[in-house]
Amino acid sequence: MEAWATYRTSSAAEWTSRRLLRAKGDSRVSVVLPARNEEATVGAIVSTIREHLMDRVALVDELIVVDSRSTDRTAQVARAAGAEVVGQDEMTRGLPRLTGKGDALWAGLAAAEGDVVAFVDADLHEFRPHFVTGLIGPLLTDPSVDFVKGFYHRPLVGAASVEADGGGRVTELMARPLLNLFWPELAGFVQPLAGEYAGRRDVLERVPFVSGYGVETAMLIDLLDLVGLDALAQVDLGERRHRHQDTAALGRMSAQIMLTAWSRLQRRGWANPGAVPAALLTQFRRGGSDALPNLDREIVVSDVSVEERPPLAELRHRVPRRRVPA
């Protein structure tokens, strides 16, 4: 793990846009932002990428925002800022309807035409161009790299203080112990759940996309099986600021990660192939009109089941080639 981390870890500062433009050659680069109700942040991210990496330097060829059934002005804001906007449902028309981030990512990959595809979350604050150049740098300069994962400091801002790396709670309490236990080859990834990553299209099209919050976990495990650890890399992107979810939401996220890991354990024969784990998560909410006697809490039951899209390469003939505006 230490050898891999030393060999396959770089800093975004190493990859300047001018250097990458020289290395790019005939390759095409797509940037995809999955977005659901992100009107407050998506515009600034799109504007930054367009100004610095498309207008000033022609490094990014395609900038796509996947509108994941937003109920706010996400699509309008993204389009006004200069992105091409596609609808998640338009790109998956004729296929089973799935929900969650992973399905939006799959739709974005289906819409993109680049040889290298970078994914960036749409809820980031203080976004800088190096988030993109850092991710695509190893891919444009080293043909032996197939996938790059970002990592960063994630400050958790509290009422009275800021915890420098307090934002990765699900990573530290769920994902990291799980990966160390069953997939120790992946233990060198600083942020296995990071939402910023990039890969070669021909590789990304060969792995399934889990529909919910398990998508990053499944992708790492599946890519490890497909191309091996040496084809995977990570890059330090500095600091990432975004909104944080409450503890109950993190619990639901963790449950989906557990179910995703279980499915991969079954495929490896490490878990009973006939066992079907429960997909309902029971949580407690203090107070409320439906609080039970003696508990002073409501019981909240959530469906945390995960589905997945098959590899895009298997369904390319059923996906529209020409993108339809959202």
Whether 119 contacts 132, CB under 8 Å: no
Pick out the chain residues at pLDDT < 70.
154-167, 241-244, 321-326
According to the model, what pLDDT value does residue 321 have? Answer: 66
According to the model, what pLDDT value does residue 290 have? Answer: 83
According to the model, what pLDDT value does residue 30 have? Answer: 98
53 vs 219: CA distance, rounded Å: 27
According to the model, what pLDDT value does residue 98 have? Answer: 94
According to the model, what pLDDT value does residue 322 have? Answer: 52
Contact residues for 25 (Cβ-Cβ < 8 A; gap 6+): none
pTM for the model stands at 0.92
According to the model, what pLDDT value does residue 324 have? Answer: 45
